[in-house]
Amino acid sequence: MNVLVVGGAGYIGSHCVRQLVEAGHRPVVLDSLVFGHRGAVSPEIPFYEGDLGDPAVVGPILEDEKIDLVMHFAAFAYVGESVTDPLKYYFNNVVATLRLLETMLEKKVMRFVFSSTCATFGIPERMPITEDVSQLPINPYGQTKLDIENALKAIAHAHGMSFAAFRYFNAAGAAEDANIGEAHDPETHLIPLAIDAATGRRPALKVFGNDYPTPDGTCLRDYVHVDDLSRAHIAVFDKLAEPGTGLFYNLGTGTPTSVLEVIQAVEKVSGMKVPHEYAPRRAGDPPALYADSTKAKTELNWEVKYPTIEPIVATAWAWHKTHAVGYDD
């Protein structure tokens, strides 16, 4: 299939582009390069720099490249910033995405794969999180993703577009060959920050809270390898052939891992100490978030290749060793 990957130069999008090639599809990338990196996409892949919310950019790409399906990874994703600058999040994550969907309808491109998030669940009523847990986001980031999930249901109903929305838990790790990996600016994620603390590139890691109601007092998260996530996105393609299909999947390994366990994994894999200190809780952090991905396993035959934290961290470490400061750009 000819697949437009919007946000294909970002962390998850760039890994998905490579998985698409491996699965025999033809990816085309559209990225604004606001957060994406040109170096994350092979020069052999057709690449367009531009705004997903601009029909004058998206329309011709859909036509010229004969796009069959659009995957959308191009959201802003800093929870804290979404609280202080909500309009930025509503404009990009909601308004621009609605424009993208409108352009797709106009050009009759009727299959869509959407990158959603476990942040749509807020502080979940039960754990592990199945798809039917109530979605009550506690920040604008999660709300903007939920807004699009709801818009997709209505668009599927009204116009017969088919879609799948994947709610990721903590995307982590890097490609097996270590040529692409995680490179955010600013970086806020635990694994790259712990690696940087170990190598001395950054100061001691601050562990946000050690008085949570969890076994070691630090937060539990579900770290899932970025290539495992990508493979689920491709496995769903066959299910989107039927017009009006709407599918939701929670993607995680189901294994809760504490902040201290992540630190231990980084120490084991790198052979270095991770200097760390306890700091107050970070606003908006639920004590525990982990997935029940039975639905993805059953319906998509999705099997994670990296079920535990250490091999995930090993791929992040291998990427870090050759790209300590991320991409050249």
**Residues annotated as part of the active site:** 141
Q: In this complex, which beta carbon is closest to ligand UDP, that of residue 163 or of residue 319?
A: 319
Q: How far is the CB of 51 from ligand UDP (least distance, A)?
A: 26
Q: How far is the CB of 187 from ligand UDP (least distance, A)?
A: 9
Q: Which residue is nearest to ligand UDP (CB)?
A: 219
Q: How far is the CB of 79 from ligand UDP (least distance, A)?
A: 6
Q: What is the 3-state secondary structure (H, E, C) of the chain?
A: CEEEEECCCCHHHHHHHHHHHHCCCEEEEEECCCCCCHHHCCCCCCEEECCCCCHHHHHHHHHHCCCCEEEECCCCCCHHHHHHCHHHHHHHHHHHHHHHHHHHHHCCCCEEEEEEEHHHHCCCCCCCECCCCCCCCCCHHHHHHHHHHHHHHHHHHHHCCEEEEEEECEEECCCCCCCCCCCCCCCCCHHHHHHHHHHCCCCCEEEECCCCCCCCCCCEECEEEHHHHHHHHHHCHHHHCCCCCEEEEEECCCCCEEHHHHHHHHHHHHCCCCCEEEECCCCCCCCECCECCHHHHHHHCCCCCCCCHHHHHHHHHHHHHHCCCCCCC
Q: How far is the CB of 219 from ligand UDP (least distance, A)?
A: 3
Q: How far is the CB of 193 from ligand UDP (least distance, A)?
A: 5
Q: In this complex, which beta carbon is closest to ligand UDP, that of residue 101 or of residue 165?
A: 165
Residues that bind ligand UDP (CB under 6 A): 170, 188-190, 193, 205-208, 219, 221, 259, 282, 285
Q: In this complex, which beta carbon is closest to ligand UDP, that of residue 150 or of residue 188?
A: 188
